[in-house]
Structure 1
Amino acid sequence: MTSEASSGSRRPRSGMLRRRSPEEDSTVLIDVAPEAEKGHTYGSTAPTSESGHREAAGGVGSPSKPRVDFVLVWEEDLRLGRQQGGAGRDETDTRGAWRETFLDNLRAAGLHVDQRAVQGENGAVHYVLLRAPWAVLCYYAEDLRLKLPLQELPNQASNWSAGLLAWLGLPNILLEDVPDVPPEYYSCPFKVSKLSRFLGSDDQENFFTSTERHQILFAILAKTPYGHEKKGLCGIDQLLAEGVFSAAFPLHDGPFRTPPEGPQAPGRTQRQVLFRYWARWSQWNKYQPLDHVRRYFGEKVAFYFAWLGFYTGWLLPAAAVGTLVFLAGCFLVFSDIPTQELCSSTDHFEMCPLCLDCPFWLLSSACTLAQAGRLFDHGGTVFFSAFMALWAVLLLEYWKRQSATLAYRWGCSDYEDIEERPRPQFAASAPTTAPNPVTGEDEPYFPERSRVRRVLAGSTVVVMMVAVVVVCLVSVILYRAIMAILVSRSNNTLLAAWASRIASFTGSVVNLVFILVLSKIYVALAHILTRWEMHRTQTKFEDAFTLKVFIFQFVNFYSSPIYIAFFKGRFVGHPGNYHTLFGVRNEECAAGGCLIELAQELLVIMVGKQIINNVQEILVPKLQGWWQKFRLRSKKRKAGASEAVGQAPWEADYELLPCEGLFDEYLEMVLQFGFVTIFVAACPLAPLFALLNNWVEIRLDARKFVCEHRRPVAERAQDIGIWSHILAGIAHLAVVSNAFLLAFSSDFLPRAYYRWTRAPDLRGFVNFTLARAPPAFASAHNRTCRYQAFREDDGQYSPTYWNLLAIRLAFVIVFEHVVFSIGRILDLLVPDIPESVEVKVKREYYLAKQALAENEALSGTNGAKDNYSQSSERSLGPQPTLPGGGQASQVPSL
């Protein structure tokens, strides 16, 4: 926290804005030069008193070699330098100057910087090994408000299913004894002056975990300038984008393969434990060790896997009920009287052409499709739709409880409100500063009115991209209509009979191609727009980016199913008066109805996308990893380097693939959740396919993080972010969607109406649903035909149509109100935060207040403060000085 002494100027009053000066933009974070002159080893990797021990749970270091907290890499290609002209050489020189300035500023910030190079025939790979000494770690831990432990708690982590099985006295095959279970703590934000109050403060080497050290190092890297900060020349992210560095990553704590003695052997690493008990395919039926995942990868990654596992567990009952509903449909096919009438009608019902040049056809030819449609369209589907709506509500309610429990257990309950700092890119570009209303500290500030204008401008781009998706959808619709006409003209009678189905299936494939191509383009565009909007924190930035992409992807993925479910076949007209779109006759539902076509569309998009994604996630990383290793090792072989000497850890990790974040993983699961809930009335098997996919997805993603990717920077998170709100919106939309599906796309209500008003056994139902072509159409073609509609012989809607319309609208209203009411009651009955967590939060607040008391009125005599300050100074060692002359306990805010 910056004091008046260190800043050299008076702090502005609360609520006042202050324009930042050029001097502030170029302020060095920590100036250690005066201490370096006294014999300190800042800026080198010489062993120091705090670097002589190995971290208890992983880390790269030994008594003879200091720990490496972070690695920067750049590649030098001598051939490229010889080929480039003057402009290219100038660009290379500029990058080199930026790199040297950046490294000098890191040394000035108190980091140990050690440079290594692996020479090749035509270039070299340079590695910059970074380490933060004890003093720097303490300063930034306080500035970042890292929560550190005050008191250990009995480990009470449990799983609801484990508790249920224990209560029932049943064996739990999902449970496995994972070693090195991280303990639980009461914690509070770290303060240097109260160092002795925190657990483990006497062990400087292991006081900060490896993930906490990585967070501190990355915070320094993200803030350190390499030129004029107001011009955006600041931070490692910008240097990576400019190609100054090839990679920046923390090290894994050794190989993931377990030693011969096994994962229980002394000296095992966290990575080896995660591989043995989490990332192997044989662990598909075991609980995920989430606390281990959080300790090694950070809260953000752990929350993703917690959500994925929780959602997959809840898919079990949904898949079981959906499978039973599907099996019920299989039995009903053989006893359904309308289906039997249709299949045995032979030449009794001659149907009107489905397209402009399509032939007349017999209704009995659609027997197979009618039977397939009956698998999904029966009374059990109504029950299953209501069941899935309530399932989604309960899933999200209990996830809130689980999320609150994990957030407390991992010490991040108030991260977004209090702990989260402004984004380095935001801080570099913000024109003014203003006091934070929560902490009272001066922070970079961007006027809200300007941000709103930028958000509105970005929204217009989103609308334009959505319009592009709609254009693609119209193109697919026209493609289907034209393809149906072309195939129907085929001399092959089998192809001609299946013209509509072939056009529908190939249209689904074309639509999938459009989806995948447009997704790649829009994600890059959304990232540019979100950066321009100047969001203060990383959480707000990610939420805005997520919302943009999801709106687009929602329209992209769901537009075709929505068209089939609610629009296709609704605006066709009747024989002699067909409606057209751009001169092409509007599509009709193929024989068997639109519901079976919707089920086909869902299976093509949902299952097809899952197969493509899984193949990509398995094969692409393998190929990329092989190429990266081949490229780097070939350089060493050409240079005559021996591989027998062994690889350094940073060389081995650089051969791995960069971690690309969690956005695509979340998006895949949320889109899947939409397919499982929004259109479940058309495909009761969707939860089963989702469950099978997710069993593979969990271990596939785990294996990527543990084995194939470089270790990501551990990021803190309070929950899964805006995805929770998106999931809630999908759950509400699913109720409305399924109500309209059952009312307007299913035969459930027409059958019920016919049963009540005409025949309880449904005999004659097929004839009831067919209208006769108007006389003018029949005379023009010298034959009469039937078509599916409730119309009179002159083409006008019949009284039955209007009666059914009233019943359908009433069903929608009743279904929605009943489901929403039950969901609301469940929402009220299930508290978002468990009572046990609320008690622990209050207890933690009390302990934090006691531990950080400033005088003896709370915790002792007035001399306690000086004693703690003196003890902390002895623990920290000599203090680096700041530009304003203050001590490092007054470290500038990141």
Structure 2
Amino acid sequence: MPDLVDAVALTLRASGLIASRRSAADADEIMLAIDAPHMWLARAAEAASLKKALKDGALRSFVVARSEAFDGFAERTQFFTSKEKIQLLIDALECLLPGTDAARVASVPWSPSMPMVATLRKESLLLAEFPFHDDDALAALENAWLTRHLESRQPIDAVHEYYGAEIAFYFAWLEEYTRWLTVPAALGAVVFALTQTMPSAAQIGILVFAAFITLWGTCFLEAWKRRSAVLAYHWNVHEHEASEAARFQYTGELVTNPLTGAHERHFPWAARAARYAITIPVTVAAVIFAILVMLTSFAAEDALRGSHWTVRLIPLGLYGVFVPLFNMAYRKLAVVLNDYENHRTETQYKDSMIIKLASVQFVNCYVSLFYAAFVVRDLDRLTTQLTSLLFTSQILFGTLEVLTPAATKLYALWSSAKDLGSDHAPRIVSKARAEYGMPPYASVYDDYLEMVIQFGYITLFAAVLPLAPLLAFANNVVEIRADAYKLVGTSRRPVPVTVSDIGVWWTLLQVLSVGSVLTNVALVGFTSHGIAALTPTWSHAAQLGLLVAAEHALLALKYLLSVTIPNRPEWLEMRIQAEHARNRAFAADAAAAASRPIPQHDHAD
């Protein structure tokens, strides 16, 4: 009877993959190196409808039977990029069921319907799974990204080619966001200077700056939408969501697709709505609970302000214990709720999870600011908190974000150096151990969350801290390089993920942008240097009417900007329409050829 590693290797080989067992004599871990032959990749590419370039330059879904028509297929080592190879391999491994060889290992509770890798993860038998870094490609990317990009734009295409669309979109968005911060940073610095030298003029300046920021947010988001569309087309991922395969975990009744004739799983909308009727109230209740606990802590802290300092620390200490425990419990709850919702695609699943998790993080980051602004109406406290969050906290967390994985990598390199000095460890084992010692790059979620929350700081409270865009700009210049270094210099190579845009993060940014109108109008109405200072002889009703009119006008302008700025450049729209026309013609020709009767030849003469 084979042991577990041999049984897994036999199952992989039976599916057409190359699997070799490797280990070092002085190590307890066993490595299973997996590769794929060229024709296996070709068949997997056909099954995945991977688009490749024909010899005439047109992109078509790869078909093995017409492989000679695709540019570079004869050059076996170069036709599929390393990113494509990794994606095809991972997709196959995630769906591979345990075969008869694996089933012979009775110590593992195999399920015939659960993929082999999922079972190994569930039973904690798989320590890690990751693709190797391509040392030459990584060195070239590091040189272009970390050394030279200060003089020009980031090498976004190279980032996409090595890491995939999800990570490339994040860095492209962060670059665009940072570039768009330059104007509000300069204007905010001028307004801040006025508050220090000419307070009377600063009153007008703050109003103009707050209105500018609310409209700037919409212009930035619409500009990003256009650039995102160009990048998606350039990377050939603009139709990814329309053709995205269903998750293995997706359940539903099998129905026949009337267009393709294929059997697909279908989950009725009524059943999904019934599940949402459970998950949405539970999520909202959890968020409200977090808000109430935070407000209670703040109220207790204010009530004990005159007490001994040790007594004043009690609410803060209790809340400090509550937050990590609640976040941990809520994350587990969010996974359960998200699984229960039965999302069809990975994109839908991730977007729903992001909304659930980001909602609580928004509470953690924004409620204290709203409390200072609108409950106790202490603008000095609000300004101090904002400055701390934008300056001290981001620098501190950014430093830890880089130093922690860097220290882990140094230890991994030291361990690898010991292996290289030993005759017991083959080179591939040493490389595997070195990269295994690096921290995994889990996802772009934390990086996006940090920047989206920052976007909220500078837009929601523009009327209080005009310097916020300048502080954010300075932070982001460093953040781009820190995130790039963390990814290139200290992390394992993540599995490339295909996406067509930044997903639901754009929606969250839009919510913050719309909310900025309400918060800034309210701040202008409540502050001493706001509307009351400019209209001292007006009645409260007239001042309130002016605020409501300003809020309506700003929302109307934001709406007009969003509908008048096209989502795609005109040239891109024309190219996509032409591409769709060619695809329809290609499909019609193929259907006509398939239905055309084969002529019968008379050989009787």
2:24 touches 2:424 (CA, 8 Å); kept in 1?
Answer: no
2:412 touches 2:433 (CA, 8 Å); kept in 1?
Answer: no
Query: C-alpha distance in 1, partners of 2:323/2:591?
Result: 66
Q: Which amino acid aligns with 1:392?
A: G
Pick the aligned partner of 2:394 from 591, 610, 614: 610
1:304 equivalent in alignment to 2:170: yes
1:190 equivalent in alignment to 2:11: no
1:679 touches 1:738 (CA, 8 Å); kept in 2?
Answer: yes
SS in 2 for 1:484: coil
Query: C-alpha distance in 2, partners of 1:411/1:749?
Result: 51
1:544 equivalent in alignment to 2:314: no
**1:713 shift after superposition:** 1.2
Query: C-alpha distance in 1, partners of 2:588/2:86?
Result: 29
Q: 1:388 to 1:862 in 2, by over 3 A?
A: farther
Q: Which amino acid aligns with 1:441?
A: A
- State the partner residue of 2:297: 476
Query: C-alpha distance in 2, partners of 1:237/1:318?
Result: 48
Q: 1:446 to 1:845 in 2, by over 3 A?
A: closer
Gaps of 5+ in 1: 1-92, 153-184, 255-268, 337-373, 491-501, 569-588, 758-802, 864-894
- State the partner residue of 2:334: 526
Q: 1:540 to 1:119 in 2, by over 3 A?
A: same
Q: Which amino acid aligns with 1:470?
A: I
**1:843 shift after superposition:** 3.5
Query: C-alpha distance in 2, partners of 1:681/1:236?
Result: 53
1:835 equivalent in alignment to 2:562: no
2:240 touches 2:500 (CA, 8 Å); kept in 1?
Answer: yes
Q: 1:410 to 1:277 in 2, by over 3 A?
A: same
- State the partner residue of 2:542: 807
Q: Which amino acid aligns with 2:142?
A: F
1:566 equivalent in alignment to 2:472: no
**1:253 shift after superposition:** 0.9
Query: C-alpha distance in 1, partners of 2:262/2:134?
Result: 36
Query: C-alpha distance in 2, partners of 1:143/1:302?
Result: 25
1:218 equivalent in alignment to 2:95: no
Q: Aligned Cα RMSD in Å?
A: 3.3
TM-superposition CA deviations, 1:778-814 (whole Å, max 9, x none): xxxxxxxxxxxxxxxxxxxxxxxxx22x134213321
**1:741 shift after superposition:** 1.1
TM-superposition CA deviations, 1:796-851 (whole Å, max 9, x none): xxxxxxx22x1342133211222122222322331111111112223333554566
1:378 equivalent in alignment to 2:181: no
Q: What TM-score comes out, normalization by structure 1 length?
A: 0.61
**1:231 shift after superposition:** 6.7
Query: C-alpha distance in 2, partners of 1:277/1:511?
Result: 45
Please identify, of 624-633 and 509-518, the stretch whose mean Cα deviation from structure 2 is larger. Answer: 509-518
Pick the aligned partner of 1:278 from 118, 121, 145: 145
1:389 touches 1:735 (CA, 8 Å); kept in 2?
Answer: yes
Query: C-alpha distance in 2, partners of 1:744/1:421?
Result: 52
**1:130 shift after superposition:** 1.4
Q: Which amino acid aligns with 2:238?
A: S
SS in 2 for 1:124: coil
Please identify, of 286-295 and 459-468, the stretch whose mean Cα deviation from structure 2 is larger. Answer: 459-468
- State the partner residue of 1:133: 37
Query: C-alpha distance in 1, partners of 2:214/2:94?
Result: 44
Equivalences, count: 588
**1:709 shift after superposition:** 1.1
Q: 1:151 to 1:387 in 2, by over 3 A?
A: farther
**1:216 shift after superposition:** 0.6
Pick the aligned partner of 1:242 from 123, 134, 143: 123
**1:134 shift after superposition:** 2.0
**1:398 shift after superposition:** 0.8
1:596 equivalent in alignment to 2:380: yes
SS in 1 for 2:29: strand
SS in 1 for 2:129: strand
Higher helix share: 2
TM-superposition CA deviations, 1:619-667 (whole Å, max 9, x none): 2112333444556766888xx6478979654343223221211111111
Query: C-alpha distance in 2, partners of 1:833/1:452?
Result: 33
**1:196 shift after superposition:** 2.8
**1:235 shift after superposition:** 4.8
SS in 2 for 1:249: coil
Matches within 5 A, 1:74-85: none
**1:320 shift after superposition:** 0.9
Query: C-alpha distance in 2, partners of 1:540/1:652?
Result: 35
1:201 touches 1:207 (CA, 8 Å); kept in 2?
Answer: yes
Matches within 5 A, 1:186-585: 186-226=58-98, 233-254=114-135, 269-280=136-147, 283-333=149-199, 378-418=203-243, 420-426=244-250, 430=251, 432-436=253-257, 439-486=260-307, 518-568=326-376
1:109 equivalent in alignment to 2:109: no
Q: 1:646 to 1:846 in 2, by over 3 A?
A: closer
Query: C-alpha distance in 2, partners of 1:316/1:622?
Result: 31
Query: C-alpha distance in 2, partners of 1:537/1:440?
Result: 20
Q: 1:239 to 1:285 in 2, by over 3 A?
A: farther
SS in 2 for 1:599: helix
Query: C-alpha distance in 2, partners of 1:838/1:614?
Result: 39
Matches within 5 A, 1:660-809: 660-754=442-536, 756=537, 803-804=539-540, 806-809=541-544
**1:676 shift after superposition:** 1.1
SS in 1 for 2:255: strand
SS in 2 for 1:526: helix
1:462 touches 1:552 (CA, 8 Å); kept in 2?
Answer: no
1:735 touches 1:816 (CA, 8 Å); kept in 2?
Answer: yes
Query: C-alpha distance in 1, partners of 2:84/2:411?
Result: 32
Q: 1:816 to 1:285 in 2, by over 3 A?
A: farther
Query: C-alpha distance in 2, partners of 1:702/1:290?
Result: 11
